[in-house]
Amino acid sequence: MSRKPNKLRIIPLGGLGEVGKNITVIEFKDDIIIIDCGLTFPEDEMLGIDVVIPDITYLFKNREKIRGIVLTHGHEDHIGALPYILKKLNLPIYGTKLTLGLVETKLKEHRIDNVTMNIAKPKDIIKLGCFEVELIKTSHSIPDSVGLAIHTPVGVIVHTGDFKIDFTPINDDVIDLHRFAEIGSKGVLALLADSTNVERPGYTMSEKTVGDTFNNIFSKAAERIIVATFASNIHRIQQIINSAELFNRKIVVSGRSMVNTINVAYELGYLKIKEGTLIDINDMGKYSNNEIVLVTTGSQGEPMSALARMASSEHRKIELLPEDTVIISASPIPGNEKTISRVINKLLEKGSKVIYESLADVHVSGHACQEELKLIHTLLKPKFFIPVHGEYRHLKRHAELAESLGMPRENIFVVDNGTVVEFTKDTGIIGQSVPAGNILVDGLGIGDVGNIVLRDRKHLSEDGLIVVVVTISKQDGSVIAGPDIISRGFVYVRESEDLMEEARGIVKNVLIECEKKNITDWATLKSSIREVLRSHLYEKIKRNPMILPIIMEV
Amino acid sequence: MSRKPNKLRIIPLGGLGEVGKNITVIEFKDDIIIIDCGLTFPEDEMLGIDVVIPDITYLFKNREKIRGIVLTHGHEDHIGALPYILKKLNLPIYGTKLTLGLVETKLKEHRIDNVTMNIAKPKDIIKLGCFEVELIKTSHSIPDSVGLAIHTPVGVIVHTGDFKIDFTPINDDVIDLHRFAEIGSKGVLALLADSTNVERPGYTMSEKTVGDTFNNIFSKAAERIIVATFASNIHRIQQIINSAELFNRKIVVSGRSMVNTINVAYELGYLKIKEGTLIDINDMGKYSNNEIVLVTTGSQGEPMSALARMASSEHRKIELLPEDTVIISASPIPGNEKTISRVINKLLEKGSKVIYESLADVHVSGHACQEELKLIHTLLKPKFFIPVHGEYRHLKRHAELAESLGMPRENIFVVDNGTVVEFTKDTGIIGQSVPAGNILVDGLGIGDVGNIVLRDRKHLSEDGLIVVVVTISKQDGSVIAGPDIISRGFVYVRESEDLMEEARGIVKNVLIECEKKNITDWATLKSSIREVLRSHLYEKIKRNPMILPIIMEV
């Protein structure tokens, strides 16, 4: 590759539908650092896919240059791909205590134990090749989140990570606006900033407001209280614990990921729980209902989650009672509206009181709205700006926001994953792109499910399949057995015997025709069967199942 | 059935996930009337299903009693099932002019031409058996919508239909609050009211506010303007036309359903268009870009819609230009957030200016919010209340709203589809239920896709399928040909040859074992193949494809 050796290269490298969400790469001469290493959950049309991870072809090619991975916080979309990527690239990891605590649990589950993890704290400076990476305290929906000031040979790059500005955070220091201001006054070459909430005017409410709502609800609840929230939202969980303790209730935890994170957070000192507040789910019976708060997963209506199982009476240990109060302390992630609504309906049908976002202030976002973004831009006064962490619509909007604050349009780079933005001390330009994309993970297969497999799954999901099997003599091409027709996902066979019998008749005719014409090319025979059957079925029932003709030669 | 003959029976009969949305039945002795006859679009897990219609077993059984179908307005979820149901029950239809105009187009498409349609207008009274059905003007996101006051032998039942209160509607009379008040002061036995927006506080904004936004946007647009909205939202389309005429632009219509509804609405006098405003899409080239407004479908991001095709450069006649202004004049229907977002991203990537709900007031709802509902309840002062048109969460909330206005809890019936509520002059009780449910329509098949077919489609969609074929001798049970293994939607076969070869080997072993054991029961042999292969594949790749063993005997 012919490229100027003294340019700083910034590459948002991964994030399904969102730019730079999962991975961002910073490169200068022979040094590369990686910011975050996350995964995304699949889109609807990625049938059967478990998770989606970034394509790291570029990193693999340049692996000798990579000095380490710096993590901004412990959410899945920022750490979730580590188990997959560390297997190909064993790199040292840097991050704050809670972030690395969560990474450790994750790596243990994947039986990876040879990774060097380096705990750092806000204000620490990590030296990685020619880079000095400084962690700056931010606020987010998980504790111990940081932004990064990356001191490079051509200037300072600031990456906000996911953030918001919360003046009254829970058990956590306030975002270090002083340091952002200081860095800003010394000069920032480029800013990469979170665009998630750029469409929302105003400010994101403080996490503390949710605690007030909890206290209000807890003060009125006569029986059990069940709160569903994100397992990683330790501040939220702390507030549930605070309210529980205030109203003399015990805490019971349900849901595997909830149990895991609470354990990690508690062990590392991120949760303050009074002796005796936390009780085992099996000891619940020793207390009366108005002494219990259940903390559970399932705030997105996930069908296998603890809350969904309670709602459909499938939870092994918890049966909902009509006077229970259920709080869904979360917003629907786009795409989850219907599953959540279904769980809410089921809970209400059981007679429970259900409190969700449209009824009370039981959730706040973890991302900065417009006024917060303006504050950060204003404090940092960057020369160049790359909006990240958002779909194109968000990046575009964030670019407009920066422009409205006086940044020249040509200094703003709205780019795709894989696009390289190259900087000198004074200039920024779009460089050549590098490979970037999404790798689909299905079971143990990483990247083996591609467009053809997905297209077949889609076809099968819509109209099912018909298998036509026939055994034909090698010698004379005569039909020895069959044709047999088997269908799945097409029609309810017992009620469609005529249709299936007709189909068999049609295939038989095709076979007779082909035998007459002395066709022994099985590909031709198969495609005749497929075509004749396809058009017959479409005419009869306007469905288009996948048709698989199989010929056995004997 | 033993039932008191002098009770009025009200039965919300159909609506996927929503009560009484598609069909409501009113019955007294030997008379039945049907209110609305709609369909619903399938939920995500109803793979391959086109539409969902209500189960009308109960109506079919009691067909001699049915006096007619009264329609409240022309939306799909209120008229869409007519073509399916009229084929089984040929009944006279009653409704306002536009509603019946839309029904007519629909029936023509389905080649149904023997239906009696009776146009009525607000204040008209339709005599159907012992019932007198009075139409009352309401406001909604389609013109000519009405509520119903049904005068029955035991009292007056009011059904609001879908409605909101708009004091400044477009080309339409204001909702007839006087008549609601009059009926209320004479005494209403029971109210059935729209619960769609019961979770929203305050009032729904007037349709007129959208026109102001349009004028504002039109005044600034330098090039072409493209507005996507619901084809049936004639008021919205009228406002687009008004703004176009104000700013000397021509109107071009794109999208089949948009063309159809605009034709019907214009012919029936529901759209006022100046001579020469409407031009053919093929004449667009005769005008400069700043003289054009395109009205199109696709406001929900539907992949095959005109807007989606423009966004992905697949529209035959319209190529988007960087300076075009695209207005998405609609809200996402829950579940459509992601598809809309995708279209917005693509439009922005093309450089178009895109204006959607979170940026400007380009849409208002067609349903009443809390304060409007309170007004209707207060005007009507019903003795009993059945919340309808909503999921359980909405009905529950609507019940609470009625209670907050002073209605005794025992007079409110939050019921399911199929539940009968029986009324005398003074009493209301829950009666025996009647069959109710959802019939899935897939192609020409109505109700032939059930749980088994859907379960298979789901299984196929997640991990694909493996077909194992083997030809076995009838005489000695020896393998004559095969085993052959064919897969679809499982792995990309070219890159998984080893896995497939291994699978073949495993099946071979099973066959050898079975031959040794002299197993000639093919069911046993098949289930052995299935089991051994299943557990092998799960261990190797953690996927669970459908396995179809097929044995050909020769």
Coil/strand/helix, residue A540 = helix
| Confidence (pLDDT) at B497 | 85
Say if strands B93-95 and B66-70 run parallel, antiparallel, or are unpaired.
parallel
Yes or no, beta carbons of B47 and A486 under 8 Å apart: no
- Write the DSSP assignment of B485-498 as a string of letters: EEEESSS-GGG-HH
Distance CA B435, CA B418 (A): 6
For chain A, domains (ranges, CATH) are: 8-202+365-443 (3.60.15.10), 208-355 (3.40.50.10710), 451-553 (3.10.20.580)
Cβ density class B382-407: b for 16+ within 10 Å, e for less: bbbbbbbbbbbbbbbbbbebbeeeeb
Yes or no, beta carbons of B337 and A338 under 8 Å apart: no
ipTM of the complex as predicted? 0.88
Mutate to test the interface with A, among B401, B416, B453, B540 (most CBs of A within 10 A): B453
pLDDT cut 90: percent of chain A above it: 84
Confirm or reject contact between B497 and chain A (CB < 8 A). no
Nearest Cβ partner for A543 among B442, B492, B552: B442
Eight-class DSSP state of B286: G
Partners of B24 in beta bridges: B12, B35
The residue of chain A with its CA nearest to that of B45 is A461
A residues 436-475 near B, CB within 8 Å?
442-445, 448-450, 452-454, 456-465, 467, 469, 471
Nearest Cβ partner for B391 among A335, A345, A554: A345
B219: burial class by Cβ within 10 Å (0-12, 13-18, 19+)?
Answer: exposed
The residue of chain B with its CA nearest to that of A347 is B393
Q: Which of A333-347, A516-530, B190-204 is least confident?
A: A516-530
A-to-B residue pairs, Cβ atoms closer than 8 angstroms: 196
| Confidence (pLDDT) at A496 | 82
| Confidence (pLDDT) at A1 | 46
Is the confidence at residue A512, as pLDDT, over 90? no
A248: burial class by Cβ within 10 Å (0-12, 13-18, 19+)?
Answer: exposed
- Tell me the pLDDT tens digit for each residue of A270-282: 999 999 999 999 9
Q: How far, rounded to the nearest angstrom, does the alpha carbon of residue B448 sit from its chain's CA centroid?
A: 20
Coil/strand/helix, residue A464 = coil
Nearest Cβ partner for A552 among B200, B354, B471: B471
Q: How far, rounded to the nearest angstrom, does the alpha carbon of residue B407 sit from its chain's CA centroid?
A: 32
Mean pLDDT of chain A: 93
Yes or no, beta carbons of A552 and B481 under 8 Å apart: yes
Is the confidence at residue A448, as pLDDT, over 90? no
Q: Are B241 and B271 in contact (CB under 8 A)?
A: yes
Yes or no, beta carbons of A334 and B334 under 8 Å apart: no
Q: Which amino acid is at B213?
A: T
**What's the gap in Å between the CA of B337 and the closest CA on chain A?**
6
Mean pLDDT of A413-422: 97
The residue of chain B with its CA nearest to that of A442 is B543
| Confidence (pLDDT) at A2 | 47
Distance CA A460, CA A467 (A): 12
Asked if B280 is an active-site residue, the reply is: no
- Tell me the pLDDT tens digit for each residue of A206-239: 999 999 999 999 999 999 999 999 999 999 999 9
CA distances from B517 to A47, B478, B479, B512, B525 (A): 40, 12, 14, 9, 11
Is the confidence at residue A400, as pLDDT, over 90? yes
pLDDT, greater one: A517 or B207 = B207
- Tell me the pLDDT tens digit for each residue of A21-75: 999 999 999 999 999 999 999 998 899 999 999 999 999 999 999 999 999 999 9
Mutual orientation of helices A522-541 and A497-516 as an angle, nearest 10°? 150
Match 């957070």 to its residue by tokens: A265
Yes or no, beta carbons of A48 and B334 under 8 Å apart: no
Q: Which residues of A touch B460 (CB under 8 A)?
A: 457, 460-461, 464-465, 488-489
Yes or no, beta carbons of B457 and A358 under 8 Å apart: no
**What's the gap in Å between the CA of B459 and the closest CA on chain A?**
8
Distant-in-sequence, close-in-space partners of A497: CB < 8 Å, separation ≥ 6: none
Cβ density class B246-280: b for 16+ within 10 Å, e for less: ebebbbbbbbeebbbbbebbbebebbebeeebbbe
Match 């407004």 to its residue by tokens: B293
Q: Which residues of A touch B486 (CB under 8 A)?
A: 548, 550
Distance CA A520, CA B14 (A): 55
| Confidence (pLDDT) at A480 | 85
Torsion of CA A263, A268, A271, A277, to 10 degrees: 50
- Tell me the pLDDT tens digit for each residue of A84-113: 999 999 999 999 999 999 999 999 999 999
Nearest Cβ partner for B489 among A358, A457, A463: A457
CA distances from B475 to B221, B472, B478, B479, B480 (A): 82, 9, 8, 11, 11
| Confidence (pLDDT) at A5 | 60
Partners of A428 in beta bridges: A423
Q: Which amino acid is at A285?
A: G
Q: Are B311 and B349 in contact (CB under 8 A)?
A: no
B residues 120-179 near A, CB within 8 Å?
none
Cα radius of gyration (chain B): 29
Closest CA to A214 of A198, A191, A233, A195: A233
B residues 224-263 near A, CB within 8 Å?
none
Max CA pair span of chain A = 89
Instruction: List active site positions of A.
Output: 194, 367
Q: Are A485 and A529 in contact (CB under 8 A)?
A: no
| Confidence (pLDDT) at B120 | 97
Q: Which residues of A touch B546 (CB under 8 A)?
A: 488
Q: Are B439 and B463 in contact (CB under 8 A)?
A: no
| Global pTM value | 0.91
Q: Which amino acid is at A505?
A: G
Mutate to test the interface with A, among B344, B356, B393 (most CBs of A within 10 A): B393
Check the annotation: does A363 bind a ligand: yes
| Confidence (pLDDT) at B333 | 87
Query: Residue ranges of chain B with pLDDT lower than 50?
Result: 1-3
Strands (E), A365-508: 382-388, 421-423, 428-430, 438-442, 445-446, 465-472, 479-488
Mean pLDDT of A491-519: 85
Mean pLDDT of chain B: 93
Match 């198969």 to its residue by tokens: A526
